[in-house]
Structure 1
Amino acid sequence: MSPVISLLAKPRQRGVQPYRKHGLIYFICGNPGLVNFYVTFLDCLRGMLDAADEGSGGTAYDLYGRNLLGFSDDDHEPFSESNEPWDLDGQIEGIYRDVAARSVIPDDAGAEGEQGKGSRPYDFVVLMGHSVGAYISVEVMHRHMQDASRAPHLNLRHGFLLFPTLTHIASSPSGKRLTLLTKIPRVEENAHRVAKFVLGCIPLACVLWIVTHVMGFTPQTAEVTARWLKSRDGVWQAIHLGLSEMRTICEERWEEELWEATAAESLALQQQQQKVPRFFIFYGKNDHWVANHLRDAFIERRSEKGHARISIDEGGIPHAFCVRELMMMLDTSWVVAKKVFGWVREIEEGQQQQ
């Protein structure tokens, strides 16, 4: 399966009012960092964006997502004691570089009724992350704000954060269980070896059956999961990254300026007496990777100043909204895509005032 998903905006036909702007929504996976888990979700979002395009100008939105580093065996040399998997900081730096590289409109992206603009950068980029991908999104924006000279052509405008693990992940229900496991002597350094040994004893067909019939994954996501579990380095990368998350995602350390909307956005919306925030956040009701009391404290801190548009799901959508039972996956992927689409429309309404 391809480690990349690229869904471009449909080109405008001649005689139709051209797009005013061209934006990129860059999607960052959670852990395990396999973008093919999100095919249905991204297809739903692509369909909503295309259906809303009535030829009246506005923005062409391209969608792009890729595996996190180390989850494709062919993107690196085999891991070893001297060549370890990527930790969370390594993922952030690698994704930052890729965002900068992908922020140029591809030649086959049709906008304004023409072929793509080649070397022209996107007018703006939205980072959309799920789970630890949300943390990576915020940290990429933070590092770019600190030193934009690293990618001067890159205009990071907004962050869409889905079921985010932004603070104190070790205090979540699943984080507490993982922390207890790491207290067993030599577990951290040997967990990937044990996992590889066990999985090496089970044929791919059996792994696929277990993931489908016992864990309830859809046929498509079960195939993705089984091939990841049987890959050379994928499980090691996931374990290594997960342990790094436990050590790194603790107290919030971002400055207030990161959360504030840009001056241009604020000025453009003064006439409407509202403010398009820089971040849009969607939490699960009882997310096993998020401690509810810490989530609520974060919401109070960020909502009261208008730093973010934050909502909590009331319908029981799981943290891994994109992987299980077929009908449930279609429903939850559609619901989450609809939430993101609403954020896009809010951004568009703000841009029309500029």
Structure 2
Amino acid sequence: MTPDALLLFIPGNPGLVEFYIEFLEHLHHTFNEAGVRLAILVRGHIGHGPSLPTGNGSWTVGLDSQVTSAIELYDSARDFYGPSTKIILAGHSVGSWIVTQVQSYCLVVNTTNEALSNIASTPNGRKLSWLFRHPIPTIVSSLSHLLTYPPFSILPYTLSYWPKFNNYPSDQLDIIKSLATSPHVVYSALTMAHDEMQTIGSLGSASSTVQATCERERSYIYACFAAKDEWVGDEVSDVRLMLDEHRVVVREDDVPHAFCISHSIPVSETCAQWIKEILVDRR
């Protein structure tokens, strides 16, 4: 049966689709109960699959290729479902930026906590950019390889006792363990982050496609920011000006940038409301 709409979701970095299962399941359940046939397609980033080893720990795919892959996936989905099915794109963090690069192809609901511009100047960008520069990704991925051998292999199983992770759900800890013990994923995530720092500039820069996209398609784009997000700089007010104000949400709750760890439901409910608006408006 042909769906009423297809949600094509692009994750943040690391781009493991497993992080978003609860978020997407809740979305699907919400529309299923309402009698709306919503199909969901999630595109993990190339090179970010722990279960798909590359055989070469230093192999990686750049940000430009990730964008090209997303465009190709959209084209394939459009060819498969035809013009009667609305395609809605959603992204988290750098996934939101990738969505803006595909924007000219389709209706977009640009959702969740974003990293749309100038990542290198954000608090986390300034603190962590050294981690993404050569040769650090090679060194860190080599250390990740050690976690597959005793006695270091015990370390991933102690994550629940670390202060940062002691409140994480067990299924999310399992995903982090699989990431930490997959050298090719660690390398791909770190080198892609370096590309993000180099590529995603400020909204007003000549090379920024985000501002042009937001201004041209402002009635199709929705954006959600955490109240406190160290992956987002001081350009939230600029986004408010570029988009219809009621489509920009700055959350007042405790939902963090990495909402998919333990705050999937409230973000899913926000996105569900936006998707309902899109489906009603485009009938």
The answer to whether 1:93 aligns with 2:41 is no
CA–CA distance in 2 between the matches of 1:47 and 1:241? 33
Match of 2:120 among 158, 165, 170: 170
The answer to whether 1:317 aligns with 2:255 is yes
Q: How do 1:126-141 residues align onto structure 2 when only pairs under 5 Å count? A: 126-141=88-103
CA–CA distance in 1 between the matches of 2:57 and 2:275? 43
Which residue matches 1:295? 236
CA–CA distance in 2 between the matches of 1:61 and 1:91? 25
Q: Judging changes above 3 Å, is the alpha-carbon distance between structure 1 residues 188 and 77 closer, same or farther for their aligned structure 2 residues?
A: closer
Asked whether the equivalents of residues 48 and 188 of structure 2 are also in contact (C-alpha less than 8 Å), the reply is yes
CA–CA distance in 1 between the matches of 2:178 and 2:137? 23
What is the deviation of 1:95?
1.9
Determine helix, strand or coil for the equivalent of 1:161. Answer: coil
Sequence identity, in percent? 22
Q: How do 1:250-269 residues align onto structure 2 when only pairs under 5 Å count? A: 250-252=201-203, 253-254=208-209, 258-259=213-214
The answer to whether 1:213 aligns with 2:164 is no
- Higher-Rg structure is 1
Which structure has more RCO (C-alpha within 8 Å, separation ≥ 6)?
2
Q: Judging changes above 3 Å, is the alpha-carbon distance between structure 1 residues 175 and 283 closer, same or farther for their aligned structure 2 residues?
A: same
Asked whether the equivalents of residues 44 and 337 of structure 1 are also in contact (C-alpha less than 8 Å), the reply is yes
TM-score, normalised via structure 1 length = 0.69
Show structure 2 runs of 5+ residues with no match. none
Task: Give deviations 1:116-140, integer Å, cap 9, x for gaps.
Answer: xxx6455221111001111111112
Q: Judging changes above 3 Å, is the alpha-carbon distance between structure 1 residues 138 and 201 closer, same or farther for their aligned structure 2 residues?
A: farther
Q: Judging changes above 3 Å, is the alpha-carbon distance between structure 1 residues 201 and 159 closer, same or farther for their aligned structure 2 residues?
A: farther
Determine helix, strand or coil for the equivalent of 1:162. Answer: coil
Task: Give deviations 1:274-294, integer Å, cap 9, x for gaps.
Answer: xx8211000011101112x22
Q: Judging changes above 3 Å, is the alpha-carbon distance between structure 1 residues 286 and 75 closer, same or farther for their aligned structure 2 residues?
A: same
Q: Counterpart of 2:66 in structure 1: which amino acid?
A: Q
What is the deviation of 1:255?
7.0
Asked whether the equivalents of residues 90 and 99 of structure 2 are also in contact (C-alpha less than 8 Å), the reply is yes
Task: Give deviations 1:289-323, integer Å, cap 9, x for gaps.
Answer: 112x22223323x13xx388111000020111121
Q: Judging changes above 3 Å, is the alpha-carbon distance between structure 1 residues 122 and 75 closer, same or farther for their aligned structure 2 residues?
A: farther
What is the deviation of 1:180?
4.8
How many residue pairs get aligned? The number is 276
Asked whether the equivalents of residues 9 and 90 of structure 2 are also in contact (C-alpha less than 8 Å), the reply is yes
Q: Counterpart of 1:206 in structure 2: which amino acid?
A: L
Q: Counterpart of 1:49 in structure 2: which amino acid?
A: F
Which residue matches 2:198? 247
Which protein is richer in helix relative to its size?
A: 2
Q: Counterpart of 1:32 in structure 2: which amino acid?
A: P
CA–CA distance in 2 between the matches of 1:64 and 1:186? 35
What is the deviation of 1:158?
1.4
Determine helix, strand or coil for the equivalent of 2:76. Answer: helix
Asked whether the equivalents of residues 93 and 114 of structure 2 are also in contact (C-alpha less than 8 Å), the reply is yes
What is the deviation of 1:224?
1.2
Q: Judging changes above 3 Å, is the alpha-carbon distance between structure 1 residues 168 and 257 closer, same or farther for their aligned structure 2 residues?
A: closer
Q: Once superposed, what is the RMSD of the aligned Cα atoms? A: 2.8
